[in-house]
Structure 1
Amino acid sequence: MKVAQHLWFEKDMESALRLYTSLIPGSSIESVKALPTETPGGPAGSVKVASFTLGDQRYQGLEAGPLDAFNHSFSIMLECETQDEIDRLWSALGEGGTAEQCGWLRDRWGLSWQILPRRLGELINDPDTARAQRAMGAMLQMVKLDIAGLEAAARG
């Protein structure tokens, strides 16, 4: 059995996939095809399907006009090692999108992303509960997450 996430794009799926795969190491677009027959989504050639990977995750994409917009019930989390990596992804994915609290943003296609430092998990799982609470409190006040700020808060 194979498992893959499925994303429904209203339009411009290929541009989205090119951006996503350019930003995340180990990513690729395997195929993009226009369906040759009429579908409930539109006339022959207007609906596209794609197969792609982001890092180690498999995805299917569909471009078939409006149905249900992306929402927070599905997001893609990117765990980053460095602040430079966070900044790079935040800038590229956020262009034309919307920044949100706690390291979340919506890209210009409406897809939600969580751009988080690996260090955050270590800090909020610290056995010193006061330290963990300070880190969590700092994270809740941030939009784009800042590793140095999280570590400073954890130290008190």
Structure 2
Amino acid sequence: MSLYDRNLALLDTQAIAYRLVEHEPVLDYPTAHAVRARFGLRGVESKSLFLRLKDGRYAMLVTAEGARADWPRLKTLLGARPSVASDAELIELTGCVPQCACPFGHAAEIELVFDDALLGHEHLLYSPGPPELTLEVATADLPRLLASLPNRVHHLHASAP
């Protein structure tokens, strides 16, 4: 099953409504903004960073466009020093395209770090794998989605982790 299929299955299994649009490949935020305007997409653009941890584990950080990674907080939360994984690791372990990492639908051993600040927006926009597709999902449904994942989920709060 492809990453795209896994994402739609996750949403369908949890009865989470979504809007899916097809467009030119989105590999940067200016293109994402143009697509958002053209299709009337609502919400915040996701930013997903695939992390390699010093102890050999991997994690996907899911936050909002423009957010900066707080490396000391991530180390405390994950229990090991993180760094951005290579493009080759991203492709091999997630099936994602570099510059278009998908936040959900990964193997259970890939941990998820979810920035709870995303819940302050009405919708989350993200690619379900192919950079030519964007999903719009209500953030009110994200806690249910996160609870259904096989991945260990860490919550990054506005205060200390």
Q: Greater CA radius of gyration, 1 or 2?
A: 1
TM-score by length of 2: 0.23
TM-score by length of 1: 0.24
